[in-house]
């Protein structure tokens, strides 16, 4: 396993995705191996779901929105640290807000939010791809998500890889690996989140990405179960578009 840094933004991380129909979206993610963790109607209707490795917050709102969210114990300290590093916040809480929320944005437009709620939330214990032994990559029984495989990265298209890496490093991320083919790209982590920065125009929006040695069989099983919204790249790689328009890559390992 890799020597990963300790996160400085917060103790728990999730990908926040808005949806106009919470139950329909939740049913869709259930087909991908996710289960409900918790739901509530305050301060807006939401459902927190997990596949044992990745945490997703489905939030009821008609306007499309996606963010990498951190739930933070000492949010004032984290915010002060980010300010000292020159990070600008696009949204900040009002003095009367019971829950503090801060929003920053990467150089290429990815939302990163800090939220002062931790109680009742937890980080999934299942291993992502970065925390697995490499020999286990080829054993589907070791995957936390038996439907999709190993969570590999939250892929993000960027204009300038070096500029983007420098920004994420301010947030406590470390470049785990860098590549030049088929274009400049890198995998970064802060110990709990995994970001893939891709200097390319091959895709234009953030994509949740899974890898599996038996992905061809997994894709066939999803089709047989009635899942739709596939955009195929051969018979072993596909991108699924969710009801909210979120892209989920299902790629064969290697």
State what percent of residues in the chain have pLDDT above 90. 91
35 and 143, same structural domain?
Answer: no
174 and 78, same structural domain?
Answer: no
Segment 93-132, tens digit of pLDDT: 999 999 999 999 999 999 999 999 878 889 999 999 999 9
Report the pLDDT averaged over residues 150-164.
Answer: 98
- CA–CA dist 52, 35 (Å, integer): 9
- CA–CA dist 151, 35 (Å, integer): 15
109 and 37, same structural domain?
Answer: yes
More reliable by pLDDT, 145 or 235: 145
End residue of a domain, out of 89, 115, 141 = 115
111 and 53, same structural domain?
Answer: yes
Whether the bond into 77 is cis, omega within 30 of 0: no
Identify the helix (H) or strand (E) that includes residue 167.
helix 161-170
- CA–CA dist 164, 185 (Å, integer): 10
Q: Is the residue at 247 inside a domain?
A: yes
**pLDDT at 112 (0 to 100):** 98
134 and 86, same structural domain?
Answer: no
**pLDDT at 187 (0 to 100):** 97
Segment 33-47, tens digit of pLDDT: 999 999 999 888 999
End residue of a domain, out of 60, 92, 115 = 115
**pLDDT class for 1, splitting at 50, 70, 90?**
low
**pLDDT class for 142, splitting at 50, 70, 90?**
very high
Domain that holds residue 61: 12-115
The total of structural domains in the chain comes to: 2
The DSSP output letter for 34 is -
Q: Is the residue at 237 inside a domain?
A: yes
Q: Is the residue at 124 inside a domain?
A: no
> Who contacts 245 (Cβ-Cβ below 8 Å, separation ≥6)?
64
Calculate ∠ Cα 236-237-240, nearest 5°.
130
Residue 9 has pLDDT above 60, yes or no: yes
Report the pLDDT averaged over residues 147-152.
Answer: 98
Mean predicted lDDT score pLDDT of the chain: 95
**How far is residue 105 CA from its own chain's centroid?**
15
Query: What CATH number is attached to the domain comprising 156?
Result: 3.10.180.10
Q: Is the residue at 2 inside a domain?
A: no
Report the pLDDT averaged over residues 53-78.
Answer: 96
Report the pLDDT averaged over residues 136-158.
Answer: 97
């Amino acid at each position: 396993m890799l020597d990963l840094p300790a996160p400085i933004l917060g103790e728990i991380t999730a990908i926040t995705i808005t949806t106009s129909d919470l139950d329909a979206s939740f049913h869709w993610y259930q087909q991908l191996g996710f289960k409900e963790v918790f739901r509530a109607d305050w301060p807006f209707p939401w459902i927190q779901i997990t596949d044992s490795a990745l945490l997703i917050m489905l939030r009821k709102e008609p306007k499309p929105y996606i963010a990498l969210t951190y739930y933070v114990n000492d949010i004032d300290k984290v915010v002060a640290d980010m300010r000292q590093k020159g990070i600008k916040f696009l949204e900040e809480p009002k003095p009367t807000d019971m829950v503090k929320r801060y929003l920053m944005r990467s150089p290429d437009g990815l939302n990163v939010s800090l939220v002062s709620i931790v109680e009742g939330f937890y980080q999934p214990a299942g291993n992502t791809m970065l925390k697995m032994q490499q020999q286990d990559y080829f054993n589907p029984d070791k995957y936390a998500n038996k439907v999709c495989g190993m969570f590999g990265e939250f892929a993000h298209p960027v204009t300038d890889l070096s500029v983007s890496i420098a920004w994420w490093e301010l947030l406590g991320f470390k470049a785990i690996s860098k590549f030049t083919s088929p274009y400049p790209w890198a995998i970064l982590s802060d110990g709990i989140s995994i970001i893939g920065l891709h200097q390319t125009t091959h895709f234009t929006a953030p994509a949740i990405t899974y890898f599996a040695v038996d992905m061809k069989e997994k894709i066939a099983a999803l089709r047989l179960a009635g899942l739709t919204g596939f955009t195929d790249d051969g018979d072993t790689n596909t991108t699924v578009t969710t009801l909210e328009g979120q892209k989920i890559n299902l790629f064969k390992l290697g």
